[in-house]
Amino acid sequence: MQTYTPRSASACRLAAGAAATLFSALPARASTLDETINTVFASTTGWFVNFIFAPLPGTSFPWIVLWLVVGAVVMTLYFGFIQFRVIRHSLQLVRGDYSDPKDAGEVSHFQALATALSGTVGLGNIAGVAVAVSIGGPGATFWMILAGLLGMASKFTECTLGVKYRNEYPDGTVSGGPMYYITKGFAERGIPGGKALAVLFAIFCVLGSLGGGNMFQANQAHQQIAGVFGDFPGWITGIVFAVIVFAVIVGGLKSIARVTDKIVPFMGVLYCGTALIIVLMNYDKIGWAFGQIFAGAFTGLGVAGGMVGALIQGFKRAAFSNEAGVGSAAIAHSAVRTKEPITEGFVSLLEPFIDTVVICTMTALVIVITQQLMIDPATGLYIVQEGRIATVGGTSGVGLTSAAFGSAVSWFPYVLAVAVILFAFSTMISWSYYGLKAWTYLFGEGKGQELSFKLLFCLFVVIGAAANLGPVIDFSDAAIFAMAVVNIIGLYMLLPIVKRELDSYLSRLRSGEIRKFR
Amino acid sequence: MSDTIIVAYDGSAAGRRAVDFAAALVRGAEGSLVLLHVLEWSPYSFLTPDEVEERHARRKVELARAESAIVAPVKAELEAAGLKVDALIRYGNVTDTICEVAQETGARQIVIGRTGQAGVMSRLFGSVAGALAQVAPVPCTIVP
């Protein structure tokens, strides 16, 4: 019993499209346990989803998308296009040019970036982009790239604050993130309401970690496995995944996480490399593909929703993929030791660039260039069926990306299947950490509190794998965007503090007070 | 010319032989000894979020353990024998770090022990002694 209202016309399409992922002919699930979980889940979360994705009055434009765009634009302008001014310095920081050799053995800028990236690079880059392009048309890619470029400024702001206002404990451990900078930063500036806002963020962060960071991943991983081995009840996959996640986050079996964390970057490079090869193989169509992307961005090329539809999809999927403005990266980066909080901001602004501007664009280009989206030969326009573009073989989600890669490199779908499962796993591990930090903010630091969250997290792995994609993807999106609502309010209030840090650092950099070590 | 000799010590029996050899060299020449212990570390490895958080605390533990279990006893012993000894504990690639310290201290010579393992592992990854023989900026003595 799903409570879809008119607002979720796009979500419905999204659900309908994405439900049939890799191998589109998934038969209806027979398991009654799965159905029970699904029904309960959809009916309890519907109101929250409806609120977050409510359209602006009189339009079909969700207010949350406008919120994210405005936030990123404000931060870009406030810091004078910081993302383009400091990128060279960012790369030097990552390379270790400014790292004091005396600090060797501490987490390096490179490691901080890699850890944060392994939390964001994942299904959003593979499945999310396919959803965006099949609903919004190739033009969605343009808006996705723009959202990625603007998001760099949001990421810069939140990660700087994350390091600056973290909590350090006597045993050397650190807790940081939006809940800490909102509380401390607001108090410092004498703005009331910091505590309440921080609690709200922490609640949403727990939900986001259980939703997008857990259930969505478990769900997609199950779809992948079911696609390879044939359909079977989702809770079985869920239990297997839950046991592995349990072993890592509760049992302290770090070796598993360490192995996946080493394979994930390799998978990312393999993915981009293959995409680049496919694009180059079709070099004669590169110009045409970019033409489609630009034309589609402003005209919609006759796709449902036109330009606005492309824009909504592009921005939505970009935010879901690179998490800029969401606040999760601030939690990941805050554990890093650095004398200058702003350097963590400089490094983190590379994340939306790598995640969205590079990797997501690769996915979109491959889908467009391999001509997976069907064009009516008579009119030259895309064939739109039930709100999304018809694809060769009727695929969508991961399946569409898989088919696009498979049309050029026949064995790649198998690699992709493994990659999706690993990406899902590494994203789950990262989000279990984010959720835990929010949880301990709410309930206090302590072994008991930590264990209770970790057990809850494992339970949601099972629920996520068993539930249908529709309600899961809606709830996941909603929880993560709810984090962004609170976080961006916090960022607006704390902009002057970041500005002060930035000006001070840049002037010391120019004067030579901050110098290279090699 | 400086009369400093660097001896790389990892707590092993071979390392100990290198220390004894270096001590004998210094004793004859009125020089000083740099007792160097390197903790293998790459700033480009991949860490999980938990490891990132624990890193700072763990680094302190690692340094304390290296100091108390490996470096301090040998330093005390050498000083008791009347030698001038500086102890250094560094993070980094072992070979690179030894070369860096050699340049920083203007050392006359590097002394290092070798384990003498000629197995598959050293064929694949090479050995520190072998690499130092190739790249050391100052004369390098490998003690068997």
Mean pLDDT (whole number) for A347-355: 93
Mean pLDDT (whole number) for A404-432: 88
What are residue B38's DSSP bridge partners?
A: B90
pLDDT value, residue A11: 41
Q: Can you say whether residue A397 is alpha, beta or left, with left for phi > 0 and alpha for psi between -120 and 50 degrees?
A: left
A388 contacts A13 by C-beta, under 8 angstroms: yes
Could you give the CA distance from residue A116 to residue B49 in angstroms, rounded to a whole number?
8
> Which residues on chain A are in Cβ contact (under 8 Å) with B54?
172-173
A373 contacts A391 by C-beta, under 8 angstroms: yes
Question: From A337, which residue of chain B is nearest by alpha-carbon distance?
Answer: B56
pLDDT 10s digits, A260-294 = 777 778 888 889 999 999 999 999 999 999 998 98
Contact assignment for A430 to B56 by CB distance below 8 Å? no
> Which residues on chain B are in Cβ contact (under 8 Å) with A257?
48, 50
> Which residues on chain B are in Cβ contact (under 8 Å) with A173?
53-54, 57
* Residues 81-120 (A) with a CB less than 8 A from some CB of B: 96, 99, 101, 104-108, 110-112, 114-115, 118-119
**Residues sharing a CB contact under 8 Å with residue A387, sequence separation 6 or more, in sequence order:** A9, A10, A12, A13, A135, A304
Indicate whether A4 pLDDT > 60. no
Contact assignment for B53 to A430 by CB distance below 8 Å? no
Could you give the CA distance from residue A289 to residue A287 in angstroms, rounded to a whole number?
5
| Angle between helices A216-229 and A234-249 in degrees, nearest 10 | 130
For A422, the token pair is: 């690993």
A421 contacts A222 by C-beta, under 8 angstroms: no
pLDDT 10s digits, A75-85 = 999 999 999 99
Residue numbers in chain B where pLDDT is lower than 70:
1-2, 28-29, 116-126
pLDDT value, residue A300: 64
Q: What whole-number percentage of chain A has pLDDT above 90? A: 38
What are residue B34's DSSP bridge partners?
A: B6, B86
Mean pLDDT (whole number) for A422-427: 87
| Start-to-end CA span in chain B (Å) | 27
A112 contacts B55 by C-beta, under 8 angstroms: no
Mean pLDDT (whole number) for A376-399: 79
> Which residues on chain B are in Cβ contact (under 8 Å) with A328?
none
Contact assignment for A172 to B50 by CB distance below 8 Å? no
Contact assignment for B50 to A254 by CB distance below 8 Å? yes
Burial class (CB in 10 A: 0-12, 13-18, 19+), A46: buried
Model confidence at A335, pLDDT cuts 50, 70, 90, reads confident
pLDDT value, residue B28: 67
Which of A154-163, A337-346, A472-481 is most confident?
A154-163
Average pLDDT value over all residues in chain A:
84
pLDDT value, residue B2: 61
Could you give the CA distance from residue A386 to residue A407 in angstroms, rounded to a whole number?
25
pLDDT value, residue A305: 66
Model confidence at A19, pLDDT cuts 50, 70, 90, reads very low
Q: What whole-number percentage of chain A has pLDDT above 70? A: 91
Model confidence at A12, pLDDT cuts 50, 70, 90, reads very low
Burial class (CB in 10 A: 0-12, 13-18, 19+), B98: buried
Mean pLDDT (whole number) for A505-510: 92
Burial class (CB in 10 A: 0-12, 13-18, 19+), A408: middle
Indicate whether A25 pLDDT > 80. no
Mean pLDDT (whole number) for A229-241: 85
> Which residues on chain B are in Cβ contact (under 8 Å) with A332?
49, 52
pLDDT 10s digits, A254-269 = 777 677 777 778 888 8
pLDDT value, residue A298: 85
Q: Which of A12-21, A119-128, A362-371, A402-411 has the lowest mean pLDDT?
A: A12-21
Could you give the CA distance from residue A89 to residue A91 in angstroms, rounded to a whole number?
5
Measured CA angle at B53 (ends B52, B54), to 5 deg: 95
Contact assignment for B44 to A119 by CB distance below 8 Å? no
Mean pLDDT (whole number) for A110-137: 87
> Which residues on chain B are in Cβ contact (under 8 Å) with A323?
none
pLDDT value, residue A20: 37
Indicate whether A29 pLDDT > 50. no
pLDDT value, residue A322: 87
pLDDT value, residue A6: 38
pLDDT value, residue A341: 92
Q: How far does B25 lie from chain A, in Å, by closest CA?
A: 29
Model confidence at A30, pLDDT cuts 50, 70, 90, reads very low
- Complex prediction ipTM: 0.83
pLDDT value, residue A27: 42
A127 contacts A424 by C-beta, under 8 angstroms: no
pLDDT 10s digits, A437-471 = 999 999 988 889 999 999 999 999 988 888 776 77
pLDDT value, residue A136: 86
Residue A199 sits at the chain B interface (C-beta within 8 Å): no
pLDDT value, residue A7: 39
DSSP state of A285: G
Measured CA angle at A504 (ends A499, A509), to 5 deg: 125
Model confidence at A503, pLDDT cuts 50, 70, 90, reads very high
Rounded alpha-carbon distances, angstroms, from residue A163 to A50, A122, A186, A491: 34, 25, 15, 14
pLDDT 10s digits, A42-60 = 788 888 888 888 888 877 7
pLDDT value, residue B124: 59
pLDDT value, residue B125: 59
Alpha helices in A230-285 (DSSP H): 234-249, 254-281
pLDDT value, residue A302: 60
For B117, the token pair is: 């393992």
